[in-house]
Structure 1
Amino acid sequence: MILNRENLSALSRTLKALVFEAKEGYTPLWPKLALEVQSNGRANYYAWMENMPTMSLWEGERQVQNLTAETFAITNADWEATFAVSRTDAEDDQMDLIRITALQYARRWAEHDDLLIADLLRKGFQQKGYDGRPFFGSHTVGKRTFQNASNAPLTREAFRQALSQMRQLTDARGYPLGFFLQKPIYLVVGPGLESTAYEIVGVPTLPLGGANPDYGKAEILVSPWLVEEYETYWFLVDGSQAIRPFVLQRRSRPEWVAKDDPENSDEVFKRNVLIYGVYERKAAGYLFWQLAYGSTGTGTGA
């Protein structure tokens, strides 16, 4: 390939189409756990609901039920992913090698949204939610205190106890929230706990025989990022509501960037490589702890 403007432009278009199509072909986990919203500024501001709206008998004027006045911000960040193509590979028409590089790059880019949400899960025992408390921890609602966290290892009893705890949540008035009562409920684990999760909710019969009363109570989601120091972590998420425990907000559509002109690109001059990449603005953050339960799995029992 002669590296003139016409051929380089064609190569850039080809790689862009390949990368964007590969990304669209990836099936992400995050839509089951997070709410996607569009952002029109540097940050989005969210108000939390201390009391969920309820129906009431209409006597006189309507009873307007508002969000609380408190808000919290989630600030967008700049993200980029960049890869290099050897100039000699392009000149020698090594398109199979270039294609493999672009596809691997596209895969990592496609996984990034899942990684952002997995990071919220992993760090939720330290990072704070809207109420100033660790997202997975102890929360005061009205005169009551609720826990959406523990250190119990994943067992059948721990699963049942977690489900029971989350089903008892109320708002500040004592009105039951009714969460974790309808499907889908997601049991999020790493590869190391997949078989344990499957024994609890994935098979119709118990190991020693008889019907499994927990069969189908949750859908198993395996996150590849719950490994090493996080391999014992497990989570429950109520996916039946219009809201989610996490948010993925997007400020801009992904932009394709090419630095491949031998006459103007410093990278071509210094390193003999053609540079391609994407740029986007987005952020992930915590919304409603009432829709998620987490355990580090580091304890000795439920």
Structure 2
Amino acid sequence: MIINAGNLKTLFVAFKAAFQAGLGMAESQYKRICTIVPSTTGSEEYGWLGSFPGMREWLGDRVINGVKSHGYTIKNKPFELTVGVPRAAIEDDQYGVFTPMQQELGRATEAHPDELAFGLLKAGISTPCYDGQYFFDTDHPVIGADGAVASQSNYDSAGGGSTWYLLDTSRALRPLIFQNRKAPNFVSLTAETDENVFSRAEYLYGVDCRRNVGYGFWQMAYASNQPITEDNIVAAYTAMTERTGDNGRPLGLKPNLLVVRPGSKFAAAKIVNASTLANGAENVMKGIVEVLDTPWII
């Protein structure tokens, strides 16, 4: 290929098309567990976390549910992925071998939110959320019906095995927050005066974006490293559904998603998908939750 502005523009269009095709190659799962929040600044503060408002009988004046000031902020971070194409490969019409690389660039970009979201879920045993406790912890402070502060747990760490997660993703607000400041943008450096071309005879193609993830309500999630058994799933399910908020008000949570590592998928599915048990009895656990396996929690 003759190196000129027109041919480089045509090549950019072809590589961008390959990138766009790669975007559809990754199965996106993060939307199942995240509230998607558009961002317009360098960071967003979520002072409303900690408020689980509920309806009340209207007697006298309205009671204003003030936003609790927890100071939980999610700061957007820049991310990039860049690949280089030797100038000689383009001159020798060998640029076609780099098309799959551009597709992989797109696939990796599409998978990135999953990597962030489920990576944050995994880190919940050692990363604080809005109340200052780890997202998965045994002593989240909650005001009881008597006005005294008590502790609630959303973590069972007594098992010592691989961790699985039970989530309520049925509401508008979900356990995690995905904050999107700048959508992925495919760009290139191909001018003769660009440092990479002038010094290394290499054209650069890449993608950049700004985004981040953070924790929402810990009440909507439960982590356990106990074996995946019917009894342990029931224990986690019961702990969530019977959870109360401040002043003893039931939260009405209903777990619907069981997140496991790929190696635990079949054990979990056998418990919640089978119509009958090994002894022929009806499986009362059938359909109680959906199993979602992901490699990002390994």
Alignment TM-score > 0.5, same fold: yes
Change (3 A) 1:71 1:162: same
SS in 1 for 2:295: coil
Pick from 213, 220, 245 the counterpart of residue 171 of structure 1: 245
Higher relative contact order (CA 8 A, sep 6+): 1
Structure 1 unpaired stretches of 5+:
228-302
Q: CA deviation at 1:51?
A: 4.3
SS in 2 for 1:71: coil
Q: In the alignment, is residue 145 of structure 1 matched against residue 146 of structure 2?
A: no
Q: In the alignment, is residue 218 of structure 1 matched against residue 292 of structure 2?
A: no
Q: In the alignment, is residue 180 of structure 1 matched against residue 186 of structure 2?
A: no
- 1:141 aligned partner, one-letter code: V
CA contact (8 A) 1:85 1:98 kept: yes
Change (3 A) 1:87 1:189: same
Structure 2 unpaired stretches of 5+:
144-148, 158-225
Matches within 5 A, 1:184-263: 185-227=256-298
* Residue 92 of structure 1: aligned partner: 92
* Residue 235 of structure 2: aligned partner: 161
CA contact (8 A) 1:89 1:98 kept: no
CA contact (8 A) 1:47 1:71 kept: yes
Q: TM-score, normalising length from structure 2? A: 0.71
* Residue 69 of structure 1: aligned partner: 69
Q: TM-score, normalising length from structure 1? A: 0.70
Distance 1:49 1:105 in 2: 35
* Residue 56 of structure 1: aligned partner: 56
* Residue 160 of structure 2: aligned partner: none
Q: CA deviation at 1:87?
A: 2.5
Distance 2:31 2:21 in 1: 19
- 1:33 aligned partner, one-letter code: I
Q: Could you list the per-position Cα deviations for residues 271-302 of structure 1 after superposition, in whole angstroms to 9, with x for gaps in the alignment?
A: xxxxxxxxxxxxxxxxxxxxxxxxxxxxxxxx
Change (3 A) 1:49 1:81: closer
Q: Could you list the per-position Cα deviations for residues 172-217 of structure 1 after superposition, in whole angstroms to 9, with x for gaps in the alignment?
A: 1110001126xxx111111110111111112212133221111111
State the Cα RMSD in Å: 1.7
Q: Could you list the per-position Cα deviations for residues 11-37 of structure 1 after superposition, in whole angstroms to 9, with x for gaps in the alignment?
A: 112212221242145430000001111
Q: CA deviation at 1:50?
A: 3.8
Percent identical: 30
Aligned residues: 224
Q: Could you list the per-position Cα deviations for residues 62-82 of structure 1 after superposition, in whole angstroms to 9, with x for gaps in the alignment?
A: 221122122211111110011
CA contact (8 A) 2:21 2:103 kept: no
